[in-house]
C-alpha cells in the first residue's frame, strides 16, 4: 500500500554545502531543487498528503543572513514553482504561525492557499515557523476559549494545523539523525519512521521509493498483535 500521508524532516542542507566548501545557503538552494523533484514524484505515486518541515520555531536562532536567505528561497518557491505545481493539482496548506512573517510573504502564501483550495491531487503542507509543542498549546487555548471540558482525540485533532487530514503513515528524516525535532508530535503517534544517511539535497525520487518499499515491509499493529 502507498502511504496516504508522508512527512519529511529535510535535514542536511548545511552539511551538503560544507562538504563542498560552499556557504550554507547553497545547500538550501539545492534543497529546494530536491523539494520540487520529490513533490512531483510523491504526486505521481498517488500519495494524498505530503508534509515538509521547512522552518521550525527554533530556526530563528540561526544567523539573520541564513534566515533571510531561507525566506527568500521560500518566497520564490511559493511565487514561481507553486504556481506550476498548482496547475498540476496541488493544494497548499501552511502548518505554523505566520504572524511573525514579512507581510508580503504572508499575503503571497495566503493567496496561493486560496488559489489552490479546490485542487484535489496532492495536499502539500509546508511547516513554516512550526513547532509541535506550540501547536498543542494552541489546541489547549482553543479548547479553553470554546469551553470544551471533555476533550477527545477527535476534538484535539480537529484543532491542529492538520485538521481533516490523515496522520502521517511514514515519517522520513534525511542525514542520519534519529530525532523528531518538535515535528508533528501528536500526529506521528503511529507513524513508521525511516531515517536515511542521504543529505536532503542528495535525496532522490529513487530514495523516496526505497523508503516507501521499506514502509511496505513493516508490520503495523497500532498496539494490537
Q: Note whether 168 binds ligand FPP by CB under 6 A.
A: no
C-alpha 88/C-alpha 121 separation (Å) is 8
Among 12, 96, 131, 168, binds ligand FPP (CB under 6 A): 12
Among 7, 8, 10, 171, binds ligand FPP (CB under 6 A): 10
Residue 92: other Cβ atoms inside 10 A: 22
Complex with ligand FPP: residue 177 or 209, whichever CB lies closer? 177
Strands 49-56 and 122-130: parallel
Complex with ligand FPP: residue 116 or 175, whichever CB lies closer? 175
Complex with ligand FPP: residue 24 or 159, whichever CB lies closer? 24
Task: State residue 98 phi and psi, 5-degree precision.
Answer: -85, -5
8 A C-beta contact, residue 106 and residue 158: no
Q: H helices within the chain, ranges in order?
A: 13-19, 24-45, 64-76, 82-87, 103-115, 132-145, 153-158, 205-217
Among 2, 4, 77, 134, binds ligand FPP (CB under 6 A): 77
User: What is the smallest separation between the CB atom of 224 and ligand FPP, expressed in angstroms?
Assistant: 36
C-alpha 108/C-alpha 34 separation (Å) is 22
Q: Is 219 a catalytic residue?
A: no
User: What is the smallest separation between the CB atom of 114 and ligand FPP, expressed in angstroms?
Assistant: 19
Residue 52: other Cβ atoms inside 10 A: 21
**Contact map string, positions 122 to 141, toward ligand FPP, x by CB under 6 A:** ----x---------------
Q: Give which of 15, 33, 12, 32 is closest to 23, Cα–Cα.
A: 15
Q: Note whether 71 binds ligand FPP by CB under 6 A.
A: no
Total number of residues that touch ligand FPP (CB under 6 A): 19
Q: Is 11 a catalytic residue?
A: yes
Q: Which of residues 80-119 bind ligand FPP (CB under 6 A)?
A: none
Instruction: Using CA atoms of 102, 35, 83, 94 in order, give the dihedral in degrees to the nearest 10.
Output: -50
Interface ranges with ligand FPP (CB under 6 A) = 10-15, 28, 31-32, 35, 52, 54, 59, 73-74, 77, 126, 175, 200
Amino acid at each position: 500500500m502507498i502511504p496516504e500521508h508522508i512527512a519529511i524532516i529535510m535535514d542536511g542542507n548545511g552539511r551538503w554545502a560544507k562538504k563542498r566548501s560552499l556557504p550554507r545557503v547553497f545547500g538550501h538552494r539545492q534543497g529546494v531543487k530536491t523539494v520540487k523533484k520529490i513533490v512531483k514524484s510523491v504526486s505521481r505515486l498517488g500519495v494524498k498528503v505530503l508534509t515538509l518541515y521547512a522552518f521550525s520555531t527554533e530556526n530563528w536562532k540561526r544567523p539573520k543572513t541564513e534566515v533571510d536567505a531561507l525566506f527568500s528561497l521560500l518566497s520564490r518557491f511559493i511565487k514561481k514553482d507553486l504556481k506550476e505545481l498548482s496547475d498540476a493539482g496541488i493544494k497548499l496548506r501552511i502548518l505554523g504561525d505566520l504572524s511573525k512573517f514579512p507581510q508580503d510573504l504572508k499575503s503571497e502564501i495566503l493567496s496561493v492557499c486560496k488559489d489552490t483550495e479546490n485542487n484535489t491531487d496532492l495536499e502539500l503542507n509546508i511547516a513554516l515557523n512550526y513547532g509541535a509543542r506550540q501547536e498543542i498549546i494552541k489546541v489547549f487555548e482553543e479548547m479553553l476559549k470554546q469551553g470544551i471540558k471533555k476533550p477527545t482525540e477527535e476534538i484535539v485533532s480537529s484543532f491542529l494545523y492538520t485538521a481533516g487530514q490523515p496522520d502521517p503513515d511514514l515519517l522520513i528524516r534525511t542525514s542520519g539523525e534519529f530525532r523528531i525535532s518538535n515535528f508533528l508530535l501528536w500526529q506521528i503517534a503511529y507513524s513508521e519512521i525511516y531515517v536515511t544517511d542521504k543529505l536532503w539535497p542528495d535525496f532522490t525520487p529513487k530514495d523516496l521509493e526505497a523508503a516507501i518499499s521499506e514502509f511496505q515491509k513493516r508490520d503495523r499493529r497500532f498496539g494490537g498483535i
